Amino acid sequence: MYETGRVVSLAPWLTGHERRIAFLLDTQRTDGGWGLPHDGYALVPTLSATEALLSVLVRAESPDEEEPAQPQPAEDVADAAARGLSRLRELLTGGTWASPPGAAAQPDMPAIELIVPSLVERINRHLGDLGTAALPRDGLPLPASMDGTRLALVRDLLRSGARPPKKLMHALEIGGAAAHGFAGTGPESTGAIGASPAATAAWLGDRAPADPSTPARWYLETVAAMHDGVVPVAYPLTVFERGWVLSWLSRAGISVPVPPEVVLSLTAPLRAEGTATAAGLPADADTTAGTLYALALLGAPHPPDPLWNYETSTHFCTWKGEDGFSTTTNAHVLEAFGEFLATGAAARGGDRDVRRYEATIEKVGGWLLEQQRDDGAWTDRWHASPYYATASCALALERFGGAGRGADAAGRARAWILRTQRPDGSWGRWDGTAEETAYAVQTLLLTGRPPEPEAVRAAARGRDALLRGLSMPDGAHPPLWHDKDLYHPSAIVRAAILAGLHLIETAGTHENKE
């Protein structure tokens, strides 16, 4: 949602512009917002969609003579923008966003402290430019936790010509005028800037590029064509998706014939600093750990030494300079080191390497134990649901956290999952979902080996939710993964659902469902 709104505003020349506007109109909720309505997650998509619709109205009032004429927007564009503004005032003055940090749960989304001020600024400028009486002229306030200082510093950095941190390129659109043609970056092999349609659109600018062959333009055209005009928050995510898909399936015991080129696609990008989620992004510990774990499961173990780049005194950061921490990144790091040791490949480096790997496993396992909540669950900054974080941490600790502490923590996680199952057999933070049910089932059946009878019966009751999920189109699944906006990595989620179903079937429980 966020990314599509940015492309409407920043690249109105791109094929499918009218389709993207229609998408925004069709997906507005009855309360005037966009995106999931829960716990502050609506703010960023509602800001983006509202700003995009206002940009359509501004262009209609002041058309660019050098650009092809745009169709006059329908009346419902102004109506939708007005309802979006009304909802934004509620969001920005409500308990979550109007309170100081820590007073209420605010979503921990990448670059949110830059995205929100940049969109509020653009919306307020549009309101000043528009002459329609149907829209308010007074601007939106900034959240109490954001004063725009960091945004100003980043824009100064871009204007100076200095090379900013690579991860900033994923959100280059916050740079305003400084993003257009920014010399510190350029199209990757995929054609993208920062693996992001929004960043790519900002770099190209709001007029069709003079060079019709520029890869950045054809990246946008390709991504839009693949998704019927709308665009995802990031594309492509090949290494990230393949590593996770293979891990989910292999861990559940599903035999998957893996072509050599798939193994090559995982091992070839590995460098001394690790591997990145996508071209244009910096290497990170999470993708690196997931890739290393998948390679070990596939019989092609690679030393986990690139992960040392991300070690801190207490745990592993997702990337250098990270604000906060990720429990699931550390769970995946634990699996990467643990599985490499389990393959026996570590012995090739001698006793010294083995001892260092063992010490790292002990360190990360201990840190993860400290992060477990009193109720037995974990939460994480890269996913909205505690069921994902709990599955990641419980499975890693059960296998590599020690027979005592790790098994006890996994047992507390199973108890929490059993307590939180819904009457229809599903699991979910807000509503029951197939994705979250898959994580719950895996936690129940892949820890406490052999699974406890109560866990087996509960998993069986989740089977119908998993089957419903397989029959749903990708767009019907709620997005739960954190990026600039929530997103749904369909291949990864589908693999998790298949893994859950396979575990239920092989446990022989579906016939005994209660």
CATH number, residue 364: 1.50.10.130
Alpha-carbon distances, residue 265 vs 193, 222, 269, 494, 496 (angstroms): 21, 22, 7, 20, 21
Report which of 423, 436, 426, 443 is spatially closest to residue 385, judged by C-alpha positions: 436
Name, in order, each residue with C-beta under 8 angstroms of 264's C-beta and a sequence gap of 6 or more.
none
Number of CB atoms found within 10 A of residue 151's CB:
22
Domain span at residue 332 reads 237-371
Same domain as 246, residue 128 = no
Task: Assign residue 259 a region (left: φ > 0; alpha: ψ between -120 and 50; beta: otherwise).
Answer: beta
Same domain as 249, residue 115 = no
Same domain as 241, residue 145 = no
Residue 108 covered by a domain: yes
Residue 190 covered by a domain: no
Same domain as 244, residue 141 = no
Same domain as 148, residue 40 = yes
Residues forming a β-bridge with 481: 383, 487
**SS3 at position 439:** helix
Q: Which residue has the tokens 């994480």?
A: 380
Same domain as 153, residue 38 = yes
- What DSSP state is assigned to residue 452? P
**SS3 at position 495:** helix
Residue 201 covered by a domain: no
Same domain as 358, residue 253 = yes
State the pLDDT at residue 509. Answer: 46
Exposed / middle / buried, residue 279 (Cβ in 10 Å: 0-12, 13-18, 19+): middle
Same domain as 116, residue 243 = no
Same domain as 299, residue 152 = no
Phi then psi for residue 464, to 5 deg, are: -65, -40
Residue 225 covered by a domain: no
Q: What angle do CA 150, 154, 157 make, to 5 degrees?
A: 140
Q: Which residue has the tokens 């109560």?
A: 454
pLDDT in tens, the chain (514 residues): 999 999 999 999 999 999 999 999 999 999 999 999 887 899 999 999 999 999 999 998 877 656 655 566 778 999 999 999 999 999 988 765 555 554 455 788 999 999 999 999 999 999 999 877 678 888 999 988 788 899 999 999 999 988 889 999 999 999 999 999 999 999 999 999 999 999 999 999 999 999 999 999 999 999 999 999 999 999 889 899 999 999 999 999 999 899 999 999 999 999 999 999 988 899 999 999 999 999 999 999 999 999 999 999 999 999 988 888 999 999 999 999 999 999 998 888 778 889 999 999 999 999 999 999 999 999 999 999 999 999 999 999 999 998 789 999 999 999 999 999 999 999 999 999 999 999 999 999 999 988 999 999 999 999 999 999 999 998 899 999 999 999 999 999 999 999 999 999 998 644 444 4
Sign of the C-alpha dihedral computed for residues 226, 228, 230 and 233 taken in this order: negative
Report which of 424, 429, 428, 416 is spatially closest to residue 455, judged by C-alpha positions: 416
Specify the amino acid at residue 262.
V
Residue 149 covered by a domain: yes
Report which of 366, 437, 430 is spatially closest to residue 400, judged by C-alpha positions: 366
Report the distance separating Cα 330 and Cα 163, nearest Å.
Answer: 29
Last residue of a domain, which of 337, 371, 405? 371
Same domain as 150, residue 40 = yes
C-alpha 361: how far from chain center: 26
Residue 289 covered by a domain: yes
Same domain as 18, residue 128 = yes
Last residue of a domain, which of 131, 160, 189? 160
Per the confidence metrics, is the pTM higher than 0.95?
no
- What DSSP state is assigned to residue 140? P
State the pLDDT at residue 510. Answer: 43
Q: Tokens standing for 414?
A: 């199973």
Per the structure, the count of domains in the chain is 2
Taking each helix axis as running N to C, give the angle between helix 238-251 and helix 490-506, from 0 to 180 degrees, rounded to the nearest 10: 0
Same domain as 274, residue 154 = no
Last residue of a domain, which of 113, 144, 160? 160
Residue 485 covered by a domain: no
Exposed / middle / buried, residue 184 (Cβ in 10 Å: 0-12, 13-18, 19+): middle
Please check whether residue 462 is in contact with residue 503, taking contact to mean a CB–CB distance below 8 angstroms: no
